[in-house]
Amino acid sequence: MKKNLLFKLFCLVFAGLLVLSCTAQKEVLDISDQEQSVFNSKEEEPVEIKDVDTEYEIIIIEPGFYTWLNSIARPEGYYSQSFLESRNLIMVTTWNNRVQQPNLFNPNLYELPINYDPNIDYGYEVNYKLYNYFIYFQRKYNQRLGPFLPRI
């Protein structure tokens, strides 16, 4: 009888731990007061993303992004180009999937698709600014564009 009770107690504890380990944990981003004030700003200064050699250009008009890029984002050179390209490919793919599903994802956030070809070398600056826009976007709007937590 004692062994049976001990076995049931063990099973109950094991089941409880299993349930706790399987529950989705919401990851909370650590957003500083400085970053939050940038997110709340209404200043619009366009950020041009372009490469003269490939004639590739994106213009981002997002309130606060220019300030965030110049004050909070990691500086140019912090990431390797291959790192930026691999992360951008993941996030562009997710972004474009969401653009195509306006019933599931906010069409005000995901308005236009991004044409990003992994076979084209867009250069460091294009990849750097695109990557940082995705980080900014995810942190500001509490979105996830891939399996990685958008950290600075």
Q: Mind listing the pLDDT tens digit for each residue in 33-67? A: 888 877 887 777 777 777 667 677 778 888 899 99
User: What does the longest C-alpha to C-alpha distance in the chain come to?
Assistant: 80
Residue 108 lies in a domain: yes
Residue 47 lies in a domain: yes
Q: Mind listing the pLDDT tens digit for each residue in 16-41? A: 444 434 444 445 678 788 888 778 87
Angle, alpha carbons 139-145-79 (nearest 5°): 75
* Long-range CB contacts (within 8 A, 24+) of 48-52: 49/125, 49/126, 49/129, 49/130, 49/133, 50/125, 50/126, 51/122, 51/123, 51/125, 51/126
Domain interval for residue 102 = 30-141
Q: Check if the beta carbon of residue 128 is closer than 8 Å to that of residue 79.
A: yes
Total count of domains within the chain: 1
pLDDT at 28: 61
Residue 64 lies in a domain: yes
Query: If you search the block for the tokens 């950290």, which residue do you land on?
Result: 151
pTM (global) more than 0.85: no
Report helix, strand and coil shares of the chain as percent, to nearest 5.
Answer: 50, 5, 45
Residue 150 lies in a domain: no
Other Cβ atoms closer than 10 A to 8:
10
| Residue 134 phi, psi dihedral angles, 5° rounding | -60, -40
| % of the chain at pLDDT higher than 70 | 79
- What's the length of the chain? 152
Residue 127 lies in a domain: yes
pLDDT at 8: 46
Residue 4 lies in a domain: no
Q: Mind listing the pLDDT tens digit for each residue in 94-129? A: 999 999 999 999 999 999 999 999 999 999 999 999
Residue 96 lies in a domain: yes
CA distances from 137 to 23, 55, 64 (A): 27, 25, 10
Residue 146 lies in a domain: no
